[in-house]
Structure 1
Amino acid sequence: MIKITLKDGSVREYVKGITVLEVAKDISKGLARVALAAKIDGKVIDIRTPIEEDVELNILTFEDQEGKEAFWHTTSHVLAQAVKALFPNVKLAIGPAIENGFYYDFDVEKPFTPEDLEEIEKEMKKIVKEDYFLERFELSKEKAIQFMKGRGEDYKVELIEDFPEGETISFYKQGDFVDLCAGPHIQSTGSIKAFKLLSIAGAYWKGNENNKMLQRIYGISFPKKKQLDDYLYRLEEAKKRDHRKLGKELDLFSIHEEGPGFPFFHPNGMILRNALEDFWRMEHEKRGYKEIKTPMILNEELWKRSGHWDHYKDNMYFTKIDDKEYAIKPMNCPGAVLVYKTKMHSYRDLPLRMGELGTVHRHEMSGVLHGLMRVRNFTQDDAHIFMTPEQIKSEIVGVIDLIDYFYKTFGFKYHVELSTRPENSMGSDEAWERATNALIEALQEKGLDYKVNEGDGAFYGPKIDFHLEDSIGRTWQCGTIQLDFQMPENFDLTYIGPDGEKHRPAMIHRVVFGSIERFIGILTEHFAGAFPLWLAPIQAMIIPIADHHKEYAQKIYKKCKKNKVRVEIDNRNEKIGYKIREAQLQKIPYMIIVGDQEIENEKVSVRSRFKGDLGILEVDEFINKLLEEIYNKTYENIDIKKS
C-alpha cells in the first residue's frame, strides 16, 4: 500500500500502481469528470500516470493554471493534426500553451489565410468529435531521430538532436497523428468542447531572425462554450477599451516618433494625472509620509554601491559630466537612502516614511513598447520606509492596508503573490530568510491568501505583488512591497537604539500605483474612458439650446468654476441632440441643458452619462450633488455592456 497526501492535507491509502484518474474517481465522480492533469510532489503529470510510492498529490482542473496549460497544449496538438490533414506537406515546429491559449508554428509553402483558419477549425471539430485518446510512448534518442526523419519532420529532428545522449524521448499519439512532446496532456480530444483560432503571425524558428520565417497560428480553447463566448466578448471589449485609441479620442496623451517610449501628456491627461497625484499626496500625508524629491542623474559610484550596476546595468541610460560617468536613475531608492544619511537618526525617529513621485528611465527594447503600459520613462509613486526590526511587520501591514484602500477606491479586486529570492541576487541566505518570513507573517496577520512565485523577487529582497483585476477580468501587477536588508548594509545606514549604540535599520520599498503612466492606461481601459466624476477631465458640459441662452449658461459656468468644478460650455451653433451626443462620446459625466424654461425658473436640466435624464434641479442643489460625488470619489457600477 502507498500513502497519498491530498491538497487539503488529508492522507489516503491505495494499492501501489493506482493512476491519478482512479484516485480522482475515488474522491468524487465530479472531480474525475473535470480532472485534466495532476501534480505529484510538485511535478505536473498526466492523470493516467500510475503512482508507485508515497506522494503529495494535487489534482488539476481548468481552475488551475497548470490544468489550463495541459488543456491548451492538447488543443495545440489538435490544431497540428488538423493542419497536417489539410496540408500534408507542412512541417511541424513547436506548439506550446501560453499565458492565454496556445499557438503552433508551421513551415508551409504559402502563408495561411483567414479562409484557411475556417477550414482548419472545421477539421479540428472532427478530431474532437472522434474523441481520440492521447497515448504517451517513449523512444531512445537514436530511434526518435529515425522515427521523425521517416515522417519528414526536420524541425522535430533538430529538437531531438539537442537532447543529451542517452536520454529517453517522449511522444504523444492521437489517432494517426504523432508529435514529439514532454506533456502533460489531457486524457482525450473529446474534452475540448469550445475553441477558436484567433490570428496568424510570422515567427522565426527558435526566435532567431537568421532562421526561416514560419507561420504561427494562435488559438484559445475551453471546456464549455459559454467560457469561450465570454472570452471572445472580452477580447472585443478590450479592443474598444484600448487606452491608445481612447487616449487619442479623449485627448489625454500622445507618443511621437521623436521619442518612442516617452509619452507626452496633453491638458486633459494632466488633469487626470494631477487628480491621481493629489489623491496620493493627501492619503500619504494622513499616514505620516514625508514627501521628498531626488535628482534624476547620480554618479556611477552610487549605482555600484546600491547594486544596480551589477544587477540592472543593461536597463540603464548613462551620460558623462566633467569626464566622469553618471547614470540616469532607473529607481528612486538610492536617492532616498542618501536623504536618510544626511543626519543621525534615533530609534525614536523611526519608522521614517519617505514618499516620492519620482520620474525614472529604463531602457526597454522597441519591440515591447506599448502605449502607456510599457514605456521608457515613467513616474513611480515610490516610498521608502526605514524602521527598526521590531517595526517591520506593522509597517508591512500598514502598507497592505493603504494599497487595499487605494484599489477599493477605484473598484478593483486584487490577488496577492509572494516572490522569493532570484538567482541574480545580493546578500546572505540568512538575510533573505528573515525578509521572506517577515512578509509571510504580515500576509498571515491580514488573512490574505497568496501564491508563491519562486525566484521572482527583486535582486535586493523578496516582495509582495498586488495583481488587480479590471472590469473585463484582466489582471495587472501594480502595487508591490519589497523588504530590503541589503541596501542599508551597502550604505552603512544606522540609527541610535535605546542602548545608545548604533543599529542597522530595515528598509521597505513600495509603490501603490506602480507607474503613474501605466496606472492611467489601466484606468482608461477599466472605465472605458468614462472616468468617475472626480477624475474626469471635464466634469460637466453646459449646453445652451439657442444663442439667447448663452448668458445664463455663462452665469452657471462661473458659479461652477467658483466651486472648483471642471466645466465647459458648448457654444457651437449645432442642434441640441448633436451637442448631447458629442458630450456623451467625450465621456463627460454630466450635461447641463439650458433653455427658456431653465432661465425662467433659474434652474438647470441635468443629464447623467450613466443614468440619463435627472430632471430639473436648483443650480446650488446640482453643484452640491457634484461636490458630494467628487468628495466621496464615488463611481458607477461598471457594466462593460454600457461602457
Structure 2
Amino acid sequence: MPDHRGDSVSELRITLGGDERVVAAGTTAGEALEADGRTVIAARVGGQPRDLAYVLADGDVVEPIEIGSDEGLAIVRHSAAHVMAQAVQELFPKARLGIGPPVENGFYYDFDVEQPFQPEDIKRIEKRMREIVKQGQSFSRRVVTDTGAREELADEPYKLELIGLKGAAADEESVEVGGGELTIYDNLDAKSGELRWKDLCRGPHVPSTRVIPAFKLMRTGGAYWRGSEKNPQLQRIYGTAWDSRDRQDAYLKMLEEAEKRDHRRLGAELDLFSFPPEIGSGLPVFHPKGGTVRKALEDYSRKRHEESGYEFVSTPHITKSTLFETSGHLPWYGEDMFPPFEMDGAEYRLKPMNCPMHNLVFKARGRSYRELPLRLFELGTVYRFEKSGVAHGLTRVRGFTMDDSHIYCTPEQRSDELKSLLNFVLDLLREYGLSEFYLELSTKDDSDKFIGSDEDWAEATAALRDAAEESGLELVDDPGGAAFYGPKISVQAKDAIGRTWQLSTIQVDFNQPKRFGLEYQAADGTRKTPVMIHRALFGSIERFFGILLEHYAGALPPWLSPVQVVGIPIADDHVEYLEQVAARLRERGIRVEVDTSSDRMQKKIRNAQKQKIPYMLLAGDDDVAKGAVSFRYRSGEQNNAVPVADAIEEIVKAIEERVQI
C-alpha cells in the first residue's frame, strides 16, 4: 500500500473496528486510533502493519496493534534490533550491517566486524542501547529509490546486496526488503530532529525508542550471510525484548529453568545417550538406560496402535533414487537428503521419509474398499542432511526413528478418519504426561510451491478444520505453512515450564496416491484412488524423548524410568534380603537394582536421588525381621515398616496406571 502523504482530500472516512469515523485529511493512523503511545504502538491498515505516523487514505480500515500482542511484541523486538545496530556502529564504526529481524521471544542482528564480540563488548553495547532508549529517538520512515538507497548505503555491502533482491527476498530478509518499494528508517533526535542513524527496513517500528520497555542482550554466535556456507561468516548478537520488565523477568527465569532441564545435560548425567564425535554430528547413540526408556516409549506406542487397528510394516533404510522421483520428493526435498551413492549400476539414497515405501506396500496387490481404511504403522529410521550448525541434541538430529503411520481410506471415510486420528493422537500424548495443547492448521497460499487442484485443497482443508474444531482445542491458522502436497494439522504441546513444542502432525496427501497409481476396487466395481493421510505421533522417538526429559526435568514417571526401584541395604548383611525382594519385583516386570557398592547408606540415597529413581526400598535388621522395607519416594517422603507384598503392589499399580510422582 502506498504512502498517502500529500493526498488532497478534505475529509477521510475511516473504519475502526466496525465503526466509521470521518476525520480530517492528512490524519495519521495514530490520530485515528487516538493512541497514547503506551499501549497502542502501531496500526494494521488494510490488513498490513503500519507505523502510527502512516497517513490514511479515504476508506482505510484501521485496527490497533497493542504492545503486548504477538504482533506488537514483534515490532518492539524489531525496533530493539535497530537500537542494538545503532549502538554497535557507534561503538564499532567499522562494523557493517547484515540483517536484524525479530524472532520468537527476541531478536538478533548480524554484523561484519574485524574481531568477534567479547563479553565486555556486549556489556558496552547494552549500556549504549539504554542511553539511546532513554533519549527517545523517533523512528521515521521514508521511501527511497533503488538508486537513492544505493547512494545512501554505499558503505554497507550487505545492504546493497539486499537492494538487488527487492521483490524476491527470502523470508529472513523480509524485514529489510521484499516489498514493492524500498524504505529507510531514520532515527531522529527527539529535540532537534537531527539524524542519529539509519537503516534499510520495511518496518513498522515503535514511534520512539522510549517505547521499548525492557530488553537484554543474551549471547553471540557466528552466522553465515544469508545462511550459506559459501558466504562470509558474520557475528550475530541475540537479545530479548518485552512489553514489561515483569514479563522479561519471567522469561529469563524460564530460561534459567530450561537450562537446568536441558536434555543434553540430563542425558549425560543420567547416562542415557551421547553424541560420539567418531560417529558424526546429529547422530546419537543410546546407552543401556536410554535404550530402556526408548523401548518403553516404543512398546507402549505399539500396544496402543495394535489396539486401534493398525498393521505393522517394516521397510529398508536405503532405496533407489527413482523412488523419490516417483513420489515427487526429489525436486522439492533433494537438498535435505544425504548425497546419493552408486550401487549395482543404480543411484541409491538413504531414505528421508517412509511414505513412498508404504505406498509400495499398498500397491503390492489389489485392494478392495472392504479393506479400507488401511492403517500402516512403522517405527522407521530415516536420515536427513541437517546442517551441522542446526543439529541440536535429540531435538534436531540427522538420523531418527519416526513413529510413522499412513492411512489409506475412501473419500467418504476421510472426515471420520481424521477425527478418529486426532483423538487417538491427543489421548496417547496425554498418557505420556502432556496435557495442554492447541492445534495449528497449515494451508496453502497463492505461491507456486504447492501442487494439486484448488478443489482438492479446499476439500482436504475443510475436513481437517472440521476435525480440529470438533476437538474443542484452540485452532490457529498457518497460511502458507502446508507441505507441498497437502494441508496439515500440527499438535502444539506446552511443557511444564510453558514452552511450546510441535509434536504430532496429520497431513492429507492427494499427490502421492496419483503419482504411484494407487487404486482400490469400489463397491460398484470401478477403480478409484484412495485418500492418503500421513500421521506421525511423536514426530520422532529421539525428539520426543528429549522433550519428555525436559518436561519432567529428568524425573520421568515410574513407568518410563530406566530404573524404577533401587534396593538400598543399611549394611552388607541386608543385601541378600533385598536381592530376594528384587527378584519378586522382576517377576512382576519391574526394573530394579540393588546398590551393593561400598558407599554408606546416605550416599546411596543421594546417588539414587541424583539418578531420579522413583522408588527406594531400604532394609535393616528390623525390616528383615518383619518381612518389610522402608519405602522411600523420589520426593524424599518415607514410609517405614511397609510389608514387602504391599510395597510391591503399590509399585506395580503405579506403573500399570502410569501415575506421575
Q: TM-score normalised to the size of structure 1?
A: 0.90
Q: After superposition, what is the alpha-carbon deviation per residue over 1:426-476, rounded to whole angstroms, capped at 9, x for unaligned?
A: 333332232222212222333443222222222221111112222222222
1:172 — aligned with what? Answer: 186
Alpha-carbon shift at residue 63 of structure 1 (Å): 4.6
Alpha-carbon offset, residue 185 of structure 1: 0.5
TM superposition shift of 1:512: 0.7
| Structure 2 counterpart of 1:68 | 73
What residue is the counterpart of 1:42 in the other structure?
47
CA distance in 1, matches of 2:166, 2:404: 46
From 386, 400, 407, give the equivalent of 2:422: 400
| Equivalence for 2:650 | 625
Distance 2:223 2:388 in 1: 17
Any residues of structure 2 matched to 1:599-610 within 5 Å, and which?
A: 599-610=624-635
Choose which of 30, 33, 36 in structure 2 pairs with 1:21. 30
Mapped pair 1:351 → 2:373: yes
Q: Which amino acid aligns with 1:136?
A: R
Comparing 88-97 with 224-233, greater Cα deviation is found at 88-97
Q: 1:600 to 1:14 in 2, by over 3 A?
A: farther
Q: Distance in 1 between matches of 2:320 and 2:114?
A: 55
1:416 to 439, 456, 461: 439
Question: 1:169 Cα deviation (Å)?
Answer: 3.2
Question: CA contact under 8 A between 2:139 and 2:185: conserved in structure 1?
Answer: no
Check conservation: 1:136, 1:173, Cα contact below 8 A. no
2-structure distance, mates of 1:61, 1:609: 45
**Partner Cα separation in structure 1 for residue 513 and residue 181 of structure 2:** 48
Q: In the alignment, residue 420 of structure 1 is paired with which amino acid? A: T
Alignment partner of 1:189 out of 199, 202, 209:
209
Q: Determine the structure 2 residue equivalent to 1:271.
A: 292
1:213 is displaced (CA, Å) by: 4.9
Matching of residues 528-543 of structure 1 within 5 Å: 528-543=553-568
Q: Match of 1:553?
A: 578
Using the alignment, how far apart are the partners of 2:639 and 2:31 within structure 1? 62
Per-residue CA deviations over 1:483-536 (Å, capped at 9, x if unaligned) read 012222122222222322222211111011010111111111211211111100
Cα 1:19–1:610 shift into 2, 3 Å: farther
| Distance (Å, rounded) in 2 between the aligned partners of 1:327 and 1:84 | 48
| Residue 475 (str. 1) matches residue 475 (str. 2) | no
Give the Cα separation in 2 of the matches to 1:290 and 1:108.
Answer: 58
What is the Cα deviation at residue 482 of structure 1? Answer: 0.6
Select the residue among 93, 116, 126 that pairs with 2:121. Answer: 116
What letter corresponds to residue 133 of structure 2 in structure 1? Answer: V
For the Cα contact (< 8 Å) 2:469–2:475, is it kept in 1? no
Q: Which amino acid aligns with 2:381?
A: T
1:163 Cα shift?
5.5
SS of equivalent to 1:623: helix
The letter of the residue matching 1:290 is: E
CA deviation profile, 1:152-204 (whole Å, cap 9, x unmatched): 65655665576699955322324242222221111222222221111123445
* Number of the residue aligned with 1:526: 551
- 2:182–2:202 Cα contact (<8 Å) kept: no
- One-letter code aligned to 2:526: E
- Aligned equivalent of 2:611, options 578, 581, 586: 586
Aligned residue in 2 for 1:573: 598
Helix, strand or coil at the partner of 2:405: strand
What pairs with 1:297-446 in structure 2 (closer than 5 Å)?
Answer: 297-317=318-338, 318-409=340-431, 410-421=433-444, 423-446=448-471
Deviation at 1:90, TM superposition (A): 4.4
Q: Percent identity?
A: 44
After superposition, give the CA deviation of every residue in 1:601-627 in whole Å (9 maximum; x if it has no partner): 221112211253244422222222112
Q: Does structure 2 conserve the Cα–Cα contact (< 8 Å) formed by 1:104 and 1:217?
A: yes
Q: Aligned pair in 2 of structure 1 residues 444, 230: CA closer, same or farther (>3 Å)?
A: same
- Residue 389 of structure 1 aligns to a residue whose secondary structure is coil
Secondary structure, counterpart of 2:238 in structure 1: strand
Kindly tell me: are residues 347 and 565 of structure 1, through their superposed partners in 2, closer, same or farther at Cα, counting changes over 3 Å? Answer: same
- Deviations, residues 376-414 of structure 1 (Å, cap 9, x unaligned): 221111111111111111111111111211222222422
Contact in 2 for aligned 1:141/1:169 (Cα 8 Å): no
Partner of 2:130: 125
Distance 1:262 1:206 in 2: 26
Cα distance change of structure 1 residues 5 and 634 upon mapping to structure 2, 3 Å threshold = farther
Aligned partner of 1:135 in structure 2 is 140
SS at match of 2:427: helix
| Structure 1 residues not aligned, in runs of 5+ | 637-643
For residues 347 and 556 of structure 1, what CA distance do their matches in structure 2 show? 55
Give the corresponding residue for 1:639: none
The CA distance in 2 between the partners of 1:628 and 1:393, in whole Å, is 38
Secondary structure of 1:507's counterpart equals strand
Counterpart-to-counterpart distance in 2, 1:556 and 1:427: 63
Counterpart code for 2:197: V
Secondary structure of 1:480's counterpart equals: strand
Letter in structure 1 aligned against 2:319:
L
| Cα distance change, pair 518–554 in 1 and its aligned pair in 2 (3 A) | same
Deviations 1:280-325 (A, max 9, x none): 1121122221222223333344332222233223333434443233
The farther-off stretch of 71-80 and 14-23 is 14-23
Task: Tell me which amino acid in the other structure corresponds to 1:179.
Answer: K
Q: Which amino acid aligns with 1:225?
A: R
**What does 1:218-237 correspond to in 2, within 5 Å?**
218-237=238-257
Distance 1:126 1:265 in 2: 50
Structure 2 unmatched ranges of 5 or more: 1-11, 168-176, 190-194
Aligned partner letter, 2:346: K
Alpha-carbon distance change, 502 to 155 in structure 1, aligned in 2, over 3 angstroms: closer
Secondary structure at 1:513 match in 2: coil
Q: Secondary structure at the match of 2:438?
A: strand
**What is the rounded CA distance, in whole Å, between the counterparts of 2:157 and 2:333 in structure 1?**
39
Equivalent-residue separation in structure 2 for 1:404 and 1:242 (angstroms): 25
Task: Determine helix, strand or coil for the equivalent of 2:638.
Answer: strand
Preserved CA contact (<8 Å) 2:110 2:223: yes
Range 514-523 or range 227-236, more displaced = 227-236
> Residue type matched to 1:296 in 2?
H
Shift of 1:561: 1.0
Cα distance in 2 between the residues matched to 1:613 and 1:400:
41
> Secondary structure, in 3 states, of the residue corresponding to 1:395?
helix
Partner residue in 2 for 1:296: 317
Are 1:145 and 1:161, in contact at CA under 8 Å, matched by a contact in 2? no
Q: Could you tell me how far apart the structure 2 residues matched to 1:480 and 1:254 are?
A: 28
Asked if the contact 1:557/1:567 (under 8 Å) is kept, the reply is yes
CA distance in 2, matches of 1:265, 1:233: 31
CA distance in 1, matches of 2:343, 2:156: 57
Letter aligned with residue 246 of structure 2: K
Please tell me whether the aligned partners of residues 434 and 494 of structure 2 are also in contact (alpha carbons under 8 angstroms): no
Contact 2:629–2:643, Cα closer than 8 Å, also in 1: yes
Residue 244, structure 1, aligned to residue 264, structure 2: yes
Name the structure 2 match of 1:640. Answer: none
Question: Does structure 1 conserve the Cα–Cα contact (< 8 Å) formed by 2:144 and 2:184?
Answer: yes
Q: Do the aligned residues in 2 keep the contact of 1:407 with 1:413 (CA within 8 Å)?
A: no
CA distance in 1, matches of 2:509, 2:159: 46
Correspondence for 1:641: none
Equivalent residue for 1:460, pick from 444, 462, 485: 485
Q: What do the CA deviations read for 1:546-586 (whole angstroms, capped 9, x no partner)?
A: 11111211121111111111110111121111111111111
3-state DSSP class of the match of 2:82?
A: helix
Quick one: distance in 2 between partners of 1:148 and 1:378?
Answer: 46
Distance 1:587 1:627 in 2: 18
Separation in 1, partners of 2:116, 2:336:
37
Cα distance in 2 between the residues matched to 1:5 and 1:537: 59
Q: Please, which of 529, 535, 548 is the counterpart of residue 504 of structure 1?
A: 529
- Give secondary structure in 1 for the equivalent of 2:618: strand
